[in-house]
Amino acid sequence: MAKPDNRKDNVEHLQQAVHNTIENYREAEDYLEEFGDEIPASEKEEIQDRNARREHSISGFREEIKDEAAHQQGE
């Protein structure tokens, strides 16, 4: 038998994911600021691409948080 869908802590988990992703984004930006002139262009581009994906993920997490919060209010 399948477990019931327990979504009570989804918002909390999503908020933690946003926090972690923002932290990683900032660390990457700091790294680029400090070492950007010393690293190969390919590595710099890879970090920038990764941060672009992080920005997209943060946006998606925030939408999920809104959806989950709305779902919890509807219960």
Residue 4 has pLDDT above 80, yes or no: no
Exposure b/e, 21-32, CB count within 10 A at least 16 = b: beeebeebeeeb
Q: How confident is the model at residue 71 (pLDDT cuts 50, 70, 90)?
A: confident
pTM: 0.83
- At 17-69, the pLDDT tens digits run 999 999 999 999 999 999 999 999 999 999 999 999 999 999 999 999 999 98
Phi–psi pair at 36, nearest 5 degrees: -55, -35
Neighbouring C-beta atoms of residue 68, cutoff 10 Å: 19
Residue 8 has pLDDT above 80, yes or no: no
**H or E element that contains 1:** none
CB 57 within 8 A of CB 3: no
Question: Dihedral, CA atoms, 28, 32, 38, 39, nearest 10 degrees?
Answer: 50
